[in-house]
Structure 1
Amino acid sequence: MPPGECQVWWARPLTGAGPDPSVLDPIERGRAEAYRKNEDRARFTVAASLLRLVAGAHLGVEPRALPISRACPDCDRPHGRPTLPADGWECSVSHSGDRVAVAIGRTGPLGVDVEEITDRPDVRDLVLAPDQDGELVTYWVRKEAVLKATGEGLRVALTEVVVTSPDDPPALVRAHRADLPARTTLRTLQPGDGYRACLAALDTPGLVVTELSAG
């Protein structure tokens, strides 16, 4: 994959066949078994397996042997953003409903987010800045993709991240850090009916994105 390019792989964990879960390492299998709901277990298993298979193919490493770190910056639990063992390669994972997205590329830090479109009036004030109006979920995925790319996640309030309206091309307008708008590139993704998704990349102005199906 050339520098500046990114692949986003899509899978359907609840209705699709899914990748081979035997590639998971012991920590990942433990996390999967800890989920009480079958659908949550399926989403995690498919996402972790797909990341291993795709990253292993790009890096020339057997998927089962690929050391993927998920070290949390705030505690010792392995539930942080995934990190690949190769300089210049970035990845990000997201899942919601019957969608899993795995992004991998030779880019700056990546953040991908997919959300099922649901009526959530209770969270509008937690997502939208005072001057924002329109479809909640589109704002949501754009903002969360940015914060996943920075590695800050929900440690930063979504209301501090201001993006363009859903009717406009995706872009970061202003944020809690003054340097971010100039460094951030956003791309709208196509997860299918009933979902919205967005990809964010830092320091990759000529970002090229290819979307692929894992079946």
Structure 2
Amino acid sequence: MTGLSPGECRIYWADPADEQPWHERLLSEGERARRASLRRAEDRARQTVAAALLRLLAGRHLDERPSAVRVERACTDCAVPHGRPSVPGGLDVSVSHSGDRIAVVLSLAGPVGVDVEQAQPQRDILGVARLALSEAEIAASAPLDQDGFYTYWTRKESVLKATGDGLRVAMTKIEVSTPAQDPRLHRFDGRPDVVAAARMFTLAPGAGYQGALTVLGTPSAVTEHDGSALLRHQAEGL
């Protein structure tokens, strides 16, 4: 893997099944505590692989040992380290995972947000949509199906992750293009600067998933890659 060029944004995909025993050595003390608090093995695997892949990728870009990469996850609302990840050196990053898909993004194009969601057939789509979508969005996509709902959701969450707001801001405060259209941010209440800066992309996480990326800038290139090989082979000098 070569280093990122100015304006470049790369998305790396992985699977919880890529977890290796040595990955835990890359986690910070806070991340280990978070891992230990998770009851289900699959949740621990997702968290571990996402954290390990982020450090492996950032370490290569920054020319540092993966274990030496400082990842801050400060939350603005509490002392638990579960906020948006950030690393030094001018690199913007974002992480998302759902089901068997894990996405880690590195960006030299500006603040970035990624979201991936696994479709849940049993979910009350319309009920949740009323909490997350504007009346105009629901009407524009009627009848709203699963793919449409998750397209809306991932687009909106990617925006809120790029700004660092997360779900502290109601999704109804922003409006995006319909699932049938190319992704675009149309409205963000009180934040016209975000609307002007946002560039959105549809990702390809595979069947049964929807994924979206938002960059607050003008990326020169956005590419998707398989990160599994990097996770399977133990890095030297951890």
| Aligned-residue offset at 1:17 | 2.4
**Aligned residues of 1:114 and 1:198 also touching (Cα < 8 A):** yes
179-188 or 21-30, larger mean C-alpha shift? 21-30
Residues 172-214 of structure 1, C-alpha deviation per residue, up to 9 Å, x if partnerless? 0111212221110001111011000011011x22442111112
Q: 1:206 to 1:106 in 2, by over 3 A?
A: closer
Q: Which has more helix, going by share of residues?
A: 2
**In the alignment, what sits opposite 1:180?**
194
**Aligned residues of 1:189 and 1:199 also touching (Cα < 8 A):** yes
**Aligned residues of 1:201 and 1:207 also touching (Cα < 8 A):** no
144-153 or 78-87, larger mean C-alpha shift? 78-87
**In the alignment, what sits opposite 2:59?**
56
**Aligned residues of 2:115 and 2:157 also touching (Cα < 8 A):** yes
Root-mean-square deviation over aligned CA pairs: 1.2
Structure 1 residue 73 and structure 2 residue 80: aligned? no
Which aligned pairs between 1:58-207 and structure 2 lie closer than 5 A?
Answer: 58-87=61-90, 89-119=91-121, 120=123, 121=125, 122-132=127-137, 133=141, 134=144, 135-176=148-189, 177-202=191-216, 204-207=217-220
Q: Distance in 1 between matches of 2:71 and 2:18?
A: 23
| Aligned-residue offset at 1:91 | 0.1
Residue type at the aligned position of 1:130: E
Identity of aligned residues (%): 47
Q: Distance in 1 between matches of 2:202 and 2:154?
A: 9
Q: Distance in 2 between matches of 1:127 and 1:40?
A: 25
Number of paired residues?
211
Q: Secondary structure at the match of 1:131?
A: helix
**Aligned residues of 1:187 and 1:199 also touching (Cα < 8 A):** yes
**In the alignment, what sits opposite 2:46?**
43
**Bigger radius of gyration, 1 or 2?**
2
**Aligned residues of 2:9 and 2:219 also touching (Cα < 8 A):** no
Q: 1:171 to 1:165 in 2, by over 3 A?
A: same
**In the alignment, what sits opposite 2:234?**
none
